[in-house]
Amino acid sequence: MSKRLFWVFGLAFTFALGVVAQDITGGGSLTRDITGGAALIFRAPSNPSVHLSTGGATGGGHVKQTKKPPVRQQDSIIARANAARSAPKPRYDEAEQQYQLAAQIAPDDARAFAGLGNVYVDQGKFAQAVDAYQKAIKVKPDYNGVYLPLAFSLARLNRYPEAIDVYKETIKRDPSSPETYNNLSFAYNHNNQFQEAVEASEQAIKMLGENGEAYKQGFQERNEIRSYAYKNLGNAYNGLKRYDEAATALKKSSEIEPTNAAAHFNLGLTLYNAGRYSEAIESYKEVIKLRPKLPQAYFNLGLTYYAINDKPAAMAQYETLKGLDADLAKQLYDAIKQ
């Protein structure tokens, strides 16, 4: 018979389809989409730097201070654009207009295109962000600050081979960022390059270490990135069907961030696929504690109870599921009654 388990990542989920024997001795096989948005680290890129007549640099970039930099119309325009983007309530339309004006005045200035890319990525307009960042690189190939947000935008567009290439280039330019290795693992997983994903995740974990000062990238703290890296590692092992190693990695992810429901959910599916049903049940129970209205958790828990031939417990999940998702409840009922 055919059974369906749901693979959940943060707020998104996809079906994992597989044919299972009558006695339910195996779990569904993983879908192509085995990693989730929660495992892709994002930090807002810095504004392009400008020099104004006050003698200092502004805009969030990293440039050397000069005593009396010349007053330039271009710098003033980019400064206004930066201010609009960085306002407590960002004025993206104004920022976009000013960066576009800067690009018209000086089309050989990569900063204008980088700023445009930042405005677009802030708003989730990833196709436009890619176009702007690529223009910045064409004008100035050594503009290092645009490579990471470019790769992120490509990944969000599911353009994983391109994202992988850009992440590799980013590592050449800055080999010290665990964030980049974590995100490279994410892209490898989506591109079915599971062994490469294992290696990238392990490198991120090695760089973060077990101890030391908190590592921060934007709003992500070190432990959050460690949890994501272990989650990507577990997803990669799942892709290789090395379920016990996947379970070890996902357990570590959930231990680092015990309130991460997605890590517990992925662990439950992994344990199910490994035939470790009792442990899978405990993982799904943990998901339900954290997300008591997540219907997919009850569905998977019901199927897992059915896998150990505990039909009363499976039916109890069906009764709860009826009030959350009637379609899923029917699917679970049909599975139990077959």
Tell me the HSE value of 247 on the side-chain side, using a 13 A CA sphere: 16
Mean pLDDT (the chain) is: 82
pLDDT of 306 over the 90 cut: yes
Between residues 25 and 5, which one has the greater pLDDT?
Answer: 5
Q: Residue 228 in contact with residue 39, Cβ under 8 Å? A: yes
Question: CA separation (Å) from 23 to 18, 124, 259, 307?
Answer: 14, 46, 33, 7
- Of 155, 161, 168, 169, nearest to 121 (Cα)? 155
What percentage of the chain carries pLDDT values higher than 90? Answer: 64
Of the pLDDT bands very low, low, confident and very high (cuts 50, 70, 90), residue 82 is very high
AA letter at 7: W
Q: Which fold has domain 2-40+258-337?
A: 1.25.40
What percentage of the chain carries pLDDT values higher than 70? Answer: 79
pLDDT in tens, 109-150: 999 999 999 999 999 999 999 999 999 999 999 999 999 999
Place of tokens 């206004």: 80
pLDDT of residue 8: 39
Tell me the HSE value of 146 on the side-chain side, using a 13 A CA sphere: 28
CATH architecture of residue range(s) 50-208: Alpha Horseshoe (1.25)
Highest mean pLDDT among 25-34, 131-140, 200-209: 131-140
pTM: 0.79
Q: Point out the least confidently predicted range of 9-18, 97-106, 316-325.
A: 9-18
CATH 1.25.40.10 domain locations along the chain: 2-40+258-337, 50-208
pLDDT of residue 220: 52
